[in-house]
A and B are shown apart, each in its own frame.
Chain A
Amino acid sequence: DAEITQSPRHKITETGRQVTLACHQTWNHNNMFWYRQDLGHGLRLIHYSYGVQDTNKGEVSDGYSVSRSNTEDLPLTLESAASSQTSVYFCASSSDRGGTEAFFGQGTRLTVV
């Protein structure tokens, strides 16, 4: 079965360190998204990609970057982790055909100390 997986599931890191969260999907979807979930804010879009070599900033992109070198993977990098980036991060993918839902990974709980 096709799936979307995130790793690690839990991560503790120190302020100032670079951190990369992995996202891998086997749906062969062109669209991939990264969200962060915080209490009272729902899911906010960080970065997204519509295909290989394409990346776009979402509403909360400061301090984050992504790269898309193949269809399956969209890693999210925190350049210099800050305590404000402590959150739960979700990766999602969707078909570029309208009317279809996005599929989500299990989430990564990141704590910056």
Chain B
Amino acid sequence: AQKITQTQPGMFVQEKEAVTLDCTYDTSDPSYGLFWYKQPSSGEMIFLIYQGSYDQQNATEGRYSLNFQKARKSANLVISASQLGDSAMYFCAMREGHGNTDKLIFGTGTRLQVFP
């Protein structure tokens, strides 16, 4: 069964607009973490934001926020005020387990294109 699902292979957004990238996950472990990474065309993996399963508030990092809906098992990334430099692949990932038994599992990614 797919642990992390990203249903949007590609998304377009106009510069300065907000965009939401969807991510749903599946786990029976009560303790887990959710991550978003950005991969620009240069290829490196850049960590954006983290949400712990016990965190009461949605995580925010600058223009990035994570819309965490635990009951629906969704962890959508919201990018506000999009910039041309936001054009990239975005991966949702989940880390379940504890300390020395955890693994980071990725979704298939969403390619975001920001146009002027």
Contacts and interface: CB of A to CB of B under 8 A. Distances in A.
A99 B50 contact: yes
Interface string A32-48: 01010000111111001
Contacts of B47: 101-103
Interface residues of A, number: 29
Contact of A40 (B93, B99, B102, B108): B108
- Size bracket, chain B contacts: 20 to 34
Interface in B57-116: 91, 93, 95, 98-109
Nearest to B110: A42
A43 B100 contact: no
A94 interface: yes
Contact of B99 (A45, A88, A97): A97
Given A43-B106, A48-B103, A50-B100, A98 B45 contact: no
7 contacts: A30-B100, A33-B103, A45-B104, A58-B103, A98-B52, A101-B35, A107-B45
Interface of B: 6, 31, 33, 35, 37, 43-45, 47, 50, 52, 91, 93, 95, 98-109
